[in-house]
Amino acid sequence: MTTPLRYHKALVALHWLMAIMLTVALFIGSVILVDIPNSSPEKVDALRGHMIVGIVILLLTIIRLIVRLKTAKPAPATTGNPLLDKVGYLTHWLLYILVFAMIGSGIALAVQSNLAAAVFMKTALLPENFQLYAPRLAHGIIAKALMALIGLHVLAALYHQFVRKDGLIARMWWAK
């Protein structure tokens, strides 16, 4: 198999779709959702949207991982520094791990607080608040770590594109 110049177009589509969905989920989760008290009638609707988006992100991440492993990818991009290149390689896998951890902690929180019954079946009430459950703490900490890692990922892409001028972003875009 020859080494392509770009990632597979399905992977490119999944990359940008997930970039948008993760940014929106992180923003809405930390800025809007947390500030709605569980006693408010709006909370159930907000949680339903958040949970559905979370599950869609899970499915897209699994599909993306399969496409990533099954398609040919371009040669590794280099910064000129072997240590930074290693950090870049690890960052990509850590992004997958944190997305799975985000969803895993969300699901664990939902199971412990009987959230599906409250949100989808309306056969239970929301708990007084989610802070009573350990996975809520994990979900919040992982969210901050994921935001930091996405920030680092964006900075690294900009460094490649504008400082090294190696056209890195074109590798994650569709061919003209």
Could you list the residues that contact ligand HEM (CB under 6 A)? 22, 25-26, 29-30, 33-34, 47, 50-51, 54-55, 57, 99, 102-103, 106-107, 109-110, 130, 136, 139-140, 143
CB of 149 to ligand HEM, least distance (A): 12
Nearer to ligand HEM, 6 or 43 (CB): 43
133 in Cβ contact with 113 (< 8 Å): yes
CB of 109 to ligand HEM, least distance (A): 5
Nearer to ligand HEM, 126 or 156 (CB): 126
Residues 153, 112: Cα–Cα separation, whole Å:
33
CB of 92 to ligand HEM, least distance (A): 17
Nearer to ligand HEM, 5 or 34 (CB): 34
Residues 129, 136: Cα–Cα separation, whole Å:
10
Neighbours of 76 (CB within 10 A): 8
Residue 53: half-sphere exposure toward Cβ, Cα within 13 Å = 20
Q: Two tokens at 93?
A: 């896998």
Q: Two tokens at 107?
A: 């699901």
Nearer to ligand HEM, 95 or 156 (CB): 95
CB of 84 to ligand HEM, least distance (A): 27
Instruction: Give the list of residues 6+ apart from residue 90 with CB closer than 8 angstroms, or none.
Output: none
